[in-house]
Structure 1
């Protein structure tokens, strides 16, 4: 199974962002990080993709909005994350 595209919108010095990236790193998957600390077009893009997003990280797997760090960790605890990641 091939790995879906994984994107994570983050801000500098965000502990939740670091935690989410650490979990993804532990799975050995590649992902694209979009730093929106200073706002800009990637922040606008994130809000277009998930209009109710008010916090970071915002994680997308295969174009599907997963949520933040807590939701990612919950998927892992429930044994569902590996399947989403194509592992």
Structure 2
């Protein structure tokens, strides 16, 4: 009996040693989360926090809506039409509506040794140029390649919030540029809007 107990104890001890020696694997993340324990197609998998997300490259066009200089206005309209025909989303920045946008473009051009002129197109942060460059690139087919990776947009799209103007009256002051400060008991200059009492439309501007 004692010998038998010794053999049984030895067998159990050996099993425990083998179990401890085996590597312990955690559950597969995919196996644990996906229904049916099957790997779902990539477009249906939940994206993990550490997975890189591809961001569409921004297409920014600086223009003016003022008709004071006919050639400039015509060039802005031509560049806008070409981009609209390319079916890409464009962040149009009208420098005549906001002095800060004008200063922004002046700084960008000065950093590249370029004189101020309109329109100016930037794709993915890279300066493409004015109306003549946009026309030439469009005619040669190179513009389409530069726009690869940009977000698409229907050419007939019109923003419901601003009607395509890209600006709306400031919600803080209703476009008056003045807000009442109760502590000082007087009206102060609104700090949320530009010199025209406007803010950029949040629905169609970035």
- State TM-score, norm by structure 2: 0.39
Q: How does 1:8-87 map to 2 (within 5 A)?
A: 8-12=61-65, 13=67, 14-37=73-96, 40-51=99-110, 52-86=114-148
The alignment yields a C-alpha RMSD, in angstroms, of: 1.9
**Which ranges of 4 or more aligned residues in structure 1 deviate by more than 6 Å?**
none
**Counterpart-to-counterpart distance in 2, 1:38 and 1:27:** 25
- Residue ranges of structure 1 left out of the alignment (5+ in a row): none
> Structure 1 or 2: larger strand share?
1
Residues 70 and 2 of structure 1: CA distance in aligned 2, closer, same or farther (over 3 Å): farther
**Counterpart-to-counterpart distance in 2, 1:72 and 1:2:** 23
| 1:7 aligns with one of 52, 57, 60 | 60
- Residue ranges of structure 2 left out of the alignment (5+ in a row): 1-53, 68-72, 150-206
> Which of 1 and 2 has higher RCO (CA within 8 Å, sep 6+)?
1
- Aligned residue pairs, count: 87
